[in-house]
């Protein structure tokens, strides 16, 4: 007999207390997180730019898995303004550099799932996944139990990435973020 489900209680806390339950008609989940008024350290926002931002993936494949996305909900690449497109891809580049500096991966997956059929969990708000990878980064838990083991708490991942973000002069903890 194998274990089909693993307990991951922090996810429920995030959904109910941090992100808040998405309210239909009030914007996408990501827009609601940005508008929540909660500190970035609670919502795991790593960086805020004029039209785009970076947030930790709460269902990560590995530590350092982040999402880069426009501030407004856009479902397709064609829906981006020229300014959003430019900032999105520049932010992806900066995100990859930050994740590489912090985690020193041997490779990187960067990708976009457009539409539910392509695997998008939030199809109304496109987001670019940035995932650090290492040779042999799957183990028996992934292949036998279809589960991943993350080596550090999500709060630590957030702190490392915020502190290493290009242009960060003051650690996030000192800024009160």
Mean pLDDT along residues 21-30 = 70
The predicted structure's pLDDT at residue 150 = 64
Give this prediction's pTM: 0.77
The predicted structure's pLDDT at residue 101 = 95
Instruction: For residue 127, give the nearest of 140, 143, 115, 142 by alpha carbon.
Output: 115
The answer to whether position 35 is within a domain reads no
Residue 127 among the catalytic residues: yes
Give per-residue pLDDT as tens, 96-135. Answer: 999 999 999 999 999 998 888 887 778 889 999 999 998 8
Q: Give the DSSP letter string of 1-38.
A: --------HHHHHIIIIIS-PPPTTS--HHHHHHTT--
| Active-site choice (125, 127, 129, 135) | 127
Structure tokens at 45: 């926002």
Q: Are 91 and 69 in contact (CB under 8 A)?
A: no
Which residues make Cβ contacts (< 8 Å) with residue 118, sequence separation at least 6? none
The answer to whether position 135 is within a domain reads yes
The predicted structure's pLDDT at residue 94 = 96
The answer to whether position 175 is within a domain reads no
Instruction: For residue 109, give the nearest of 138, 144, 146 by alpha carbon.
Output: 138
The answer to whether position 34 is within a domain reads no
Q: Please state, in angstroms and rounded to a whole number, the distance separating the CA atoms of residues 127 and 115.
A: 11
CATH code of the domain in which 91 resides:
3.30.428.10
Q: Are 129 and 65 in contact (CB under 8 A)?
A: yes
The answer to whether position 5 is within a domain reads no
Which residues make Cβ contacts (< 8 Å) with residue 55, sequence separation at least 6? 30, 33, 43, 44, 45, 46, 66, 67, 69
Range of the domain at 126: 40-168
The answer to whether position 54 is within a domain reads yes
Give per-residue pLDDT as tens, 51-98. Answer: 999 999 887 888 899 999 999 999 999 999 999 999 999 999 999 999
The answer to whether position 12 is within a domain reads no
The answer to whether position 105 is within a domain reads yes
The predicted structure's pLDDT at residue 111 = 93
The predicted structure's pLDDT at residue 172 = 42
């Amino acid at each position: 007999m194998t274990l089909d489900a693993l307990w991951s209680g922090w996810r429920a806390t995030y959904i109910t207390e941090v992100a808040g339950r998405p309210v239909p008609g009030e914007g996408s989940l990501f827009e609601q997180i940005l508008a929540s008024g909660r500190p970035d350290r609670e919502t795991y926002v790593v960086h805020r730019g004029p039209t785009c931002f970076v947030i930790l993936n709460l269902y990560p494949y590995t530590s350092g898995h982040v999402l880069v996305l426009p501030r407004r909900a856009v479902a397709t690449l064609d829906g981006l303004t020229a300014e959003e497109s430019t900032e999105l891809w520049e932010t992806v580049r900066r995100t990859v550099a930050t994740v590489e500096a912090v985690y020193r991966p041997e490779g990187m997956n960067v990708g976009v799932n457009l539409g539910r059929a392509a695997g998008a969990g939030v199809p109304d708000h496109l987001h670019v996944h940035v995932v650090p990878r290492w040779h042999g980064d799957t183990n028996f838990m992934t292949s036998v139990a279809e589960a991943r083991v993350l080596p550090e708490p999500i709060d630590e991942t957030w702190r490392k990435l915020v502190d290493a973000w290009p242009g960060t002069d003051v650690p996030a903890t000192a800024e009160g973020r």
